[in-house]
Amino acid sequence: MKALAAGFTFFARRLTQAALVMLAILIIAFAVHAALGDPLREIMGEAVPVAEREELRHKLGLDAPWPVQLARYLGGAVKGDLGTSTIYKRPTLEIILAKFPASLELVLGASLIVLLLSLPAGVYCAVRPRSVGAKLIMSLSVLGISVPVFLTGIFLITIFAVWLGWLPAFGRGETVRLGFWETGLLTRDGLRHLVLPALTLSSIMLPLFIRLVRGAMLDELGHDYVRTARAKGASPLRVWLSHALRNALLPLVAVGGLQTGTLVAYTLLTETVFQWPGMGFLFLEAVTRADIPLVTTYLVFVGLLFVITNTIVDIVSLMLDPRISLEGTR
Amino acid sequence: MSAEGVQTGPRALLAFAGERPGGALAAIVLGAIALAAAFAPLLAPQNSFDLTSFDVLDAGLPPSWLEGSDPRFLLGTDAQGRDLLSAILYGTRISLVVGVLAVAIQTAIGVPLGLLAGYAGGRVDTIVTRAADIQLSLSTLMIAIIALALFRAGLGGESLTRFAVPLLVVVIGLAEWPYFARTARAATQVEAVKDYVRAARALGGSSLGIMWRHILPNILSPLIVVATTQVAGAIMAEAALSFLGLGMPVTKPSLGTLIRSGYDLMFAGAWWVTVIPGLVLIGLLVSVNVLGDALRDGLDPRRGAR
């Protein structure tokens, strides 16, 4: 009963925190919007007489004091209205949501590669730290950390697209519409287009995760329960995988899940290299063409993703290790 | 940990090089690159920032070992007809300057905050640690991208061009101070309870004096290691930002800008404009990282024993 109450308090506290962070992000976005964007110029252009301009300013309520405007902005944000793009003349959130599937599919593809490779590689490096293979993997991971993600992309394009001509280098290829979700995962062409970008994005996360898995595993292997399990006669493989790895997953979820910001940044770079039509590519276009509403909406959206993943990571950590709740609500 | 058994001077340096040939090699490569970059105006056949010194008619010439090359351009030319060798020398110079200055800012903010947090503890410690955690969880590269994007969207591309170097230095410097703060804090906490600090306090030393004169010299090794990896991080951040078009302009290219501008030419067959600066950048980053790893192992006696 007590544990349940503690769990509930933890949950409520996390949700309040998430809401407060979102509020802060929205206020920053409003400030940027107010400081950099001029909605009148966006609507009317430069060549409109001052009197007419002032009239519209009044009509749109843009001469209201800033707290009123902030309240209006926040009110709009709750309903999903974060402004209108000056390039596309459409609601900014709609444009970003249309690009979101492309970015998410890229991230999912890369995460799959990272997951499939980093777990075995990390476990191997932890259980056989002195083997040649482990040393090779660790050296390669130093190299991987040293190569900027956009160069990995460029080299992959040079080799597989320009020289060998095996895989396409640009865009998403053929896509299929599933309701509002435009997916490239269902066509051969779409999947072929995903290979190089996903490999590129995974290349930068892979060394980090191999080191994480290895570190977490090494910590666990030093514990007494591992020796006990071995003494009871459990096979090494069973001890590594179902005892140590299971416990090593907790720090993995906690640290790995907190890489959202980094992942967004690297996705942005990857999208630029491959002209992948995702959110990051859109964001850079908005920046070059000074589309302030679109820029601030992107910030709010990325902030939201960040808050959601962090909250989920905290809750999953709680489920994996109930001790955290007691510490968290102290 | 203690001062005993730690050699100083040239002999220690030689011993270090003997034990860690990889680190020594990295240091030599890094030194060569740094020297070449420092003397770029003397070494480069051409001034890359002087737009009148090159001709568009020379654009896209291949390196000297390929067919159709021009003997004047050892590594070929870029899309503007700029000599690639000169551009790389000048570009490396910018990358190194931005990297080192940005890390200087990180040190100037992070080390005092970390010392203070580790020494004072209590509420000061909580605030500094919290601020560092929050900033790190936001991802430093993302912060830098957003800051420069807002500058660019708000002030227009031109002012970004004029103030590119100071802007990059400040943005990358402000984004990554938490690494120094964390390291300095952890090391200070270890030192603060030692006898020499208690003795200094008993003798009436002021807190500031103790932190500066007694603790700081004793926590330098971990700070040097962090500084090395941070220089690599800052150079990589600068290259990434320039590649995105948010950093150095085409008129004053860094390695990242060269890679970006060469990228357009790659499908026309001119791969060298992208690949050669890319390889130089990787060489630079690998040597800094390898040196950092060697320093970490060399300066930490516990790791050396393993």
Confidence of residue B306 (pLDDT cuts 50, 70, 90): very low
Who among B139, B232, B243 is closest to A150 (CB)?
Answer: B243
| Res A3: pLDDT | 64
CB atoms within 10 A of CB B107: 19
Residue B258 lies in a domain: yes
- The band of A330, judged by pLDDT with boundaries at 50, 70 and 90, is very low
Collect all residues of chain A within an 8 Å Cβ-Cβ radius of residue B293.
142
For residue B269, give how far its alpha carbon lies from the nearest alpha carbon of chain A (Å). Answer: 9
Could you tell me if residue B9 is inside a domain? no
The whole-number pLDDT of residue B57 equals 65
Residue recorded with tokens 């800094």: B288
**pLDDT of amino acid A59:** 67
In this prediction, residue B154 has a pLDDT band, given cuts at 50, 70 and 90, of: confident
H or E element in which residue B10 lies: helix B10-19
Distance from CA of B288 to the nearest CA of A (A): 9
- HSE toward the beta carbon, residue A149, CA cutoff 13 A: 32
Confidence of residue B305 (pLDDT cuts 50, 70, 90): very low
What does residue B215 show for φ and ψ, rounded to 5 degrees?
Answer: -75, -50
Q: Do B154 and A155 lie within an 8 Å CB cutoff?
A: no
Q: Is residue B68 part of a domain?
A: yes
Q: Which residues of A touch B146 (CB under 8 A)?
A: 299
Give the structural domain span for B244: 23-304
- Those residues whose C-beta lies under 8 Å from the C-beta of residue A178, and which sit 6 or more positions away, are none
| Residue B301, pLDDT above cutoff 70 | no
By C-alpha distance, the chain B residue nearest A262 is B139
According to DSSP H, which parts of chain A are helical?
2-36, 39-44, 50-59, 66-78, 92-127, 132-146, 149-156, 188-221, 224-231, 236-238, 246-257, 260-274, 279-288, 292-320, 323-328
Mean pLDDT of A13-33: 85
Q: What is the structure's pLDDT at B12?
A: 67
Prediction pTM value: 0.82
- Between A223 and A300, whose confidence is greater? A300
Question: Is residue B3's pLDDT more than 50?
Answer: no
- Contact yes or no for B91/B219 (Cβ under 8 A): no
Confirm if A149 and A207 have CB atoms less than 8 A apart.
no
Q: Examine the pLDDT at A255 and tell me if it is beyond 50.
A: yes
Number of domains in chain B: 1
In a domain? residue B206: yes
**B150 → chain A, closest CA residue:** A287
Total length of chain A: 330
Give the model's pLDDT for residue B8. Answer: 58
pLDDT band at A321 (very low <50, low <70, confident <90, very high): low
Tokens of B47: 């001034």
Task: Tell me the C-alpha to C-alpha distance, in Å, between residue A3 and each of A15, A321, A324.
Answer: 18, 12, 11
pLDDT tens profile A204-244: 888 888 888 888 787 777 777 777 877 777 777 777 777 77
Domain with residue B114: its CATH number is 1.10.3720.10
List pLDDT tens digits, range A180-210: 777 777 777 778 888 889 989 888 888 888 8
Contact B232 A146 (CB under 8 A): yes
Residues B167-188: what's their mean pLDDT? 89
For B266, the closest chain A residue by CA position comes to A158
Which residues of chain B have a CB within 8 Å of the CB of A41? none
Give the separation between CA A119 and CA A122, rounded to whole angstroms: 5
Q: What pLDDT score was predicted for residue B294?
A: 81
Q: What is the mean pLDDT of residues A171-176?
A: 75
Model confidence band, residue B102 (pLDDT cutoffs 50, 70, 90): very high
Judge whether B210 lies within some domain: yes
Q: How far is B141 from chain A (nearest CA, A)?
A: 6
pLDDT, average across residues A47-71: 72
What pLDDT is attached to residue B4? 42
For A61-77, how does the pLDDT look when each residue is reduced to its tens digit (9 = 90+)? 666 777 778 888 888 77
**Does B12 reside within a domain?**
no
User: B143 in a domain, yes or no?
Assistant: yes
